[in-house]
Amino acid sequence: MSIAKPLKKAVAAVILDLDDGILGDVLKALLLKYGKQWDGREAQKIVGKTPLEEAAIVVGDYELPCSIDEFVTQITPLLYDQFCNIKALPGANRLIKHLSGHNVPLALASNSPRAYIESKISYQQGWKESFSVIIAGDEVRAGKPSPEIFLEAAKRLHIEPSSCLVIEDSLPGVTGGKAAGMEVVAVPSIPKQTHLYIAADEVISSLLDLQPELWGLPPFDDWIDGTLPLEIWHIGGPVVKGFGRGSKVLGIPTANLSTKAYSALLSEHPSGVYFGWAGLSTRGVYKMVMNIGWNPYFNNTEKSIEPWLLHEFDGDFYGEELRLVIVGYIRPEANFTSLESLIAKIHEDRRIAERALDTPLYLKYKDDPYLKGSSL
């Protein structure tokens, strides 16, 4: 049993801005028309900005032969076309449902224009009814990093700013929330940028890792024996050679999958330790625990998928078709001070997964047809 963490500060309301992640795809398509290629590394420059600020950055950086207003005119209908495809950030629906279900006052504060916000949330079931206040960038004189939008949200909620918790994914949002005198939890939207969010009171890798009780809010009650049940998802492909350190360095033989076909899926699921069932086309179905992420101890340059099949195999099975059904989440990815502590944690993850997969809640997915080679 883990030791309860001390209360950080009791808050009375939560102000959210949860980025949607479609802007990069739309920019990529639009820039192609100008013969330019969108570089995802530039996303840090535009995240959290207003549409005009975003347009000014893109037009300037890519030396586009159009005005900022013309660029906004071109990109706006493309964005509206994609709003219906927006997927909520992992854990967002769970968090909103939890807080509204416990009558915690909720506000949505975004630099996006009101029309954008209304369109976006119309596709997210239950969101509009859950927010007591929705405030947009075109309803204040200055957007983030100005504190104005947060102060206005608190005013409309009738809550003191110092009693508000802001949950933000952008640096302008973190800066604005702190300038408003609020507590701020950062969920960085750009990978490997945690070090930039030092102004936040807490930095977490995803909303799955938020602990409301640290802020005096009702705790989640959906964790079961150290695991969080998820809406299941599938991934599969031939087993490929990984970094060569699973067996050699860690003593843990991982069955790596190529990430090339799964860039969208990898960006959709936060880094962390997951578990579920693994099917090998010629051998059977086995328990599995896996890491998705950057492996901070080894400082990977790319996000990887490293499943560990919890079974003693006689030899390698490179090239064999591996199919995974992911059923639950254990913890966020973490760094470690020593190889020994990393190995100990991996074995603890294994024990948690093995025990959980024996329970009816997760055991039923062992019969998922996908594991046996059926298509989805």
Asked if 119 and 83 touch (Cβ cutoff 8 Å), the reply is yes
For residue 181, which of 203, 154, 204, 208 has the smallest C-alpha distance? 154
Asked if 147 and 109 touch (Cβ cutoff 8 Å), the reply is no
| C-alpha to C-alpha distance for 346 and 115, rounded to whole angstroms | 46
Paired strand residues for 274: 290, 329
Residue 287's φ and ψ, nearest 5 degrees, are -65, 150
Q: What is the DSSP string of 308-329?
A: EESS--SS--TTSEEEEEEEEE
Asked if 288 and 277 touch (Cβ cutoff 8 Å), the reply is yes
Asked if 275 and 366 touch (Cβ cutoff 8 Å), the reply is no
Asked if 166 and 184 touch (Cβ cutoff 8 Å), the reply is yes
Residues 6+ apart with CB under 8 A from 62: 31, 34, 36
Q: Point out the residues that are catalytic.
A: 17, 19, 306
Read off the tokens for 336: 């470690």
> Backbone dihedral region of 43: left (phi > 0), alpha (psi from -120 to 50 degrees) or beta?
alpha
| C-alpha to C-alpha distance for 365 and 161, rounded to whole angstroms | 46
**How crowded is residue 198: how many other Cβ atoms within 10 Å of its Cβ?**
9
